[in-house]
Amino acid sequence: MGCLRCGTCCVAPDISTLGKGVGKRCVHLSDGLQCGIYADRPAVCRGYRPDEICAAIAAPTLEERVAAYLKLFELKP
């Protein structure tokens, strides 16, 4: 599966390398949902591969996708 460029992976999960908590928007995520440090992003971000979860949480807005992700994994922001 290719990246949907939806930004959910930059908001929903924690990214401890960047000091980003669950449900918090990464400071490097642009308004256009693109990574501002893509060429220099941390290994955890480089290693992420879109999968069936991306399709399972698909929704019209970033906020809805993040809420679906958090619900799916029973996470609290």
Residue range 11-60, pLDDT digits in tens: 999 999 999 999 999 999 999 999 999 999 999 999 999 999 999 999 99
Note the pLDDT of residue 48: 92
Note the pLDDT of residue 59: 96
Cα separation, 64 vs 67, whole angstroms: 5
Q: Taking the domains of the chain in order of start, what are their residue ranges?
A: 8-72
> Which string of b and e fits 65-77 if b means at least 16 CB within 10 Å?
bbbbbbeeeeeee
**Global confidence as pTM:** 0.90
14 CB neighbour count, 10 Å cutoff: 15
> Is residue 2 over pLDDT 90?
no
